[in-house]
Amino acid sequence: MRIGQGWDVHRIIAGRPLILGGVTIPSDFGLDGHSDADILSHAITDALLGAAALGDIGMHFPDTDPQWKGAGSAQFLAFAAWLVRDKGYEIVNVDSTVILQRPKLKDFRIPIREAIAKTMSIEVECVSVKFKTAERVGPVGEGKSAEAQAIVMLEKRVI
Ligand code: C5P
Ligand code: MG
């Protein structure tokens, strides 16, 4: 068994979509970044890479590379899932937390879990997504940024 964790933060900015786990959330602001700034997909991607000691998201998808400008983060996540399987691991489960002051995300839990599960080619029961405010404290609480944390378990395939 292997375990990996991932974390990401992006700035909140007007005029960009808010995309979490590949799902566009109705919102009057979004997240700034070189890619689509999907913090949740980025955190899970890093957790996958971390569990297999395969570096991090920036190593595989440098934000200086014009190829990844505006990239959909689902492709990063799908690639990381493919990479760990290629290294002989099966993905056991994912647990994650999005920390965002607003909007309320709980009504989007099922579509987000379904989208992540589909991207990673695992069962939706193996994907957990939780939401927290930051109690109006600090940059997240003041609505300046949003964060995501993820943890992933891998199991070595028996051959
Ligand atoms: O941060 P707090 O503990 O007050 O969050 C309470 C609940 O509100 C969470 O467990 C979650 O279900 C929901 N929530 C949400 N969207 C957010 C933050 C929290 O749906 N952006
Ligand atoms: Mg990111």
159: tokens are: 């051959």
Please tell me the predicted confidence (pLDDT) of residue 125.
98
The answer to whether residue 92 scores a pLDDT higher than 90 is yes
Range of the domain at 122: 2-156
Which helix or strand (DSSP H or E) is residue 6 part of? Answer: strand 2-13
**Cα–chain center distance at 39:** 5
Residue whose CA lies nearest to ligand 1 atom number 6: 132
**Ligand with minimal distance to 107 CA:** 1
Q: How confident is the model at residue 117 (pLDDT cuts 50, 70, 90)?
A: very high
Nearest alpha carbon, ligand 1 atom 11: 131
CATH number at residue 93: 3.30.1330.50
CB within 8 A of 110, min separation 6: which ones? none
The rounded percent of the chain whose pLDDT value lies above 90 is 90
**Average pLDDT score over residue span 45-67:** 92
| Contacts of residue 13, Cβ cutoff 8 Å, sequence gap at least 6 | 29, 30, 31, 32
Task: Tell me 56's DSSP state.
Answer: -
Ligand 1 pocket test target in 18, 96, 104, 110 with most atoms within 8 Å of CB: 104
Q: How many structural domains comprise the chain?
A: 1
